[in-house]
Amino acid sequence: MTQEMAALELGLDRTILQKMESGVRKVTSTELASLANLYRRDMSELVTLAPLHQDPFTILGRIASNVSPSADGQIATALERLKEAVRIEEFLGGAPRIQPMMYERTAPGDFDTAIMQGKEVAALERSRLGLGNAAISDVAEVIASQGIWIAAVPLPEQTSGLFVSHARYGLAIFVNQTHHRARRRFSYAHEYAHALLDRSKGAEPSTIDNMRTLTEKRANSFASAFLLPAAGVTAALERMRKGGTSRTSSWSYDIFTDGVVHVEVRHDATAQHISTYDVAFLAHAFRVSYEKAAIRLKDLDFIKKTALDRLLSVKEDGRAFMKALNLFDTDDMESQPYLERQLMALALEAFRRDKISRGRFVSVCALAGQDPDHLLGLVMRTKDE
């Protein structure tokens, strides 16, 4: 951003901003707040003598240069919500924010290692979280419970998400809110893999440009196994009576003849055929897209490559089945107030304990898009309890 562009955004003459920067002219508190908002930095950072370190959140600013002004404003609001939540958390004191464990793995040197590591860590993390093999109803809530800030913001189409690790603000995951529901779920899980495996690296968005890197392949492998666990998919197919063979046999010892008994049963050859609607039901069960469910079936060797090609060639029929049967709606653009809820939970507790003023609470409500009058009445009753 040039000095002229910054001055224009601030509504100031460029010479005034030049004098501010050179120390000739004092800066008012209002101007300081405007500068902090414009540069997406905390006000305290702008008045310290210490040099400013590269803020990984500025990468969102670079990404936002490719979106509309309104979308850029939503990104700025999300960052301000996150930073305000951290400030209130600091007022409350107590133990530091929890963080998920970090899985120490060497950087994958080949495709097979990347895939193996992703699957391995997904199984370990599911076990650690006590998820078993069941479907995850809200993957973003699961990730948020691990002390990670969660937000959906409008990003360019080619960008699916971003994981950020910040010394003060902690861990945060941003996904593209313009993508359909199933893709957002996958993006949350994908970025969570970066939080578990790549936390020490710098922030880098997940885009079409870097999709072929081994760390991105590993994150994709993790997301697939995390959302569609092998044992869970197997159990689902067994309930649907699919995925087996058309012939079963058993071998046993016969105590009477002291010999071997072999029994073979032939089933209807078409009974195990996995159809388009089977994939649709599987996608619904695990809250993923039709395509991801089909690909996972091939990954687990339940179908051959020819069957995968067939199922993907009729993916529109699969989506039509999901819509007709009122299954998981991948096009649903439901609200995603994860970060707002995280902020309001802290603000309510801080106001109840007199850690923030009434005016500060009202400001936080406005930032989170909440009605302050309604919430004030509710929280005042809890203060009297």
pLDDT digit string, tens, across residues 122-133: 999 999 999 999
Whether residues 105 and 62 fall in one domain: yes
- Torsion sign across C-alpha atoms 345, 140, 41, 52: positive
**Residue at a domain's end among 200, 227, 254:** 227
Q: Is residue 270 pLDDT above 60, yes or no? A: no
In a domain, 266, yes or no: yes
Pair (85, 216) in one structural domain: yes
Q: Do residue 109 and residue 212 come from a single domain?
A: yes
**Residues 315 and 266 placed together within one structural domain of the fold:** yes
User: At 3, which CATH number?
Assistant: 1.10.260
Rounded distance, CA 37 to CA 33, Å? 6
Residues 135, 214 within the same domain: yes
What pLDDT, on a 0 to 100 scale, did the predictor assign at position 382? Answer: 67
pLDDT at residue number 46: 82
Position 255 in a domain: yes
Decide if 333 is inside a domain.
no
Report how many domains make up the chain.
Answer: 4
Query: Helix-strand-coil percent breakdown of the chain, rounded to 5?
Result: 55, 10, 35
CB atoms within 10 A of CB 148: 26
Q: Give me the mean pLDDT over the 170-193 stretch.
A: 93
Q: What is the pLDDT of residues 223-243, one digit of tens each?
A: 999 999 999 999 999 888 886
Confidence of residue 62 (pLDDT cuts 50, 70, 90): low
Tell me the pLDDT tens digit for each residue of 27-41: 988 888 888 878 777
> What average pLDDT does range 278-299 have in this prediction?
94
Domain-located, residue 331:
no
Classify residue 358: in a domain, yes or no. yes
Band of residue 266 on the pLDDT scale cut at 50, 70, 90: low
Query: What secondary structure letter does DSSP report for 55?
Result: P
* Residue 158 confidence (pLDDT) above 90: no
The tokens for 141 are: 């809530």
Q: What is the pLDDT, as a whole number, of residue 245?
A: 56
Q: Are residues 366 and 249 in the same domain?
A: no
CATH number of the CATH domain containing 134: 1.10.10.2910
Residue 329 lies in a domain: no
Phi, psi at 99, each rounded to 5°: -135, 150
User: Residue 54 pLDDT more than 80?
Assistant: no
Using the predicted structure, report yes or no on whether residue 385 has a pLDDT greater than 60. Answer: no
Please report whether residue 16 resides in a domain: yes
Note whether 81 and 219 are same-domain residues: yes
Q: Above 70 in pLDDT, residue 63? A: no
Q: Which residues contact 121 (CB under 8 A, 6 or more apart)?
A: 103, 105, 193, 196, 197, 222
Q: Domain range for residue 374?
A: 338-384
Domain final residue, candidates 19, 34, 52: 52
Residue 113: the pLDDT is 95
The gap from C-alpha 236 to its chain's centroid, in whole angstroms, comes to 25
Does 314 have pLDDT greater than 90? Answer: yes
Determine the average pLDDT of the residues in 39-46.
76
Kindly state the DSSP code that residue 255 receives in the 8-state scheme: T
| 62, 150: one domain | yes
Kindly state whether residues 124 and 251 are assigned to the same domain: no
Tell me whether residue 291 is in a domain. yes
Decide which of 164, 194, 227 is a domain's last residue: 227
Return left, alpha or beta for 268; rule: phi > 0 is left, psi -120 to 50 is alpha, else beta: beta
| Burial tier of 70 (Cβ tally within 10 Å: 0-12, 13-18, 19+) | exposed
Instruction: Please give the full DSSP string across 98-113, using - where no structure is assigned.
Output: P-------PPP-SHHH
Same domain, 93 and 215: yes
274/320 same-domain check: yes
Same domain, yes or no: 266 and 361: no
For the cut 60, the answer to whether the pLDDT of residue 265 exceeds it is no
Q: Is the pLDDT of residue 221 over 90?
A: yes
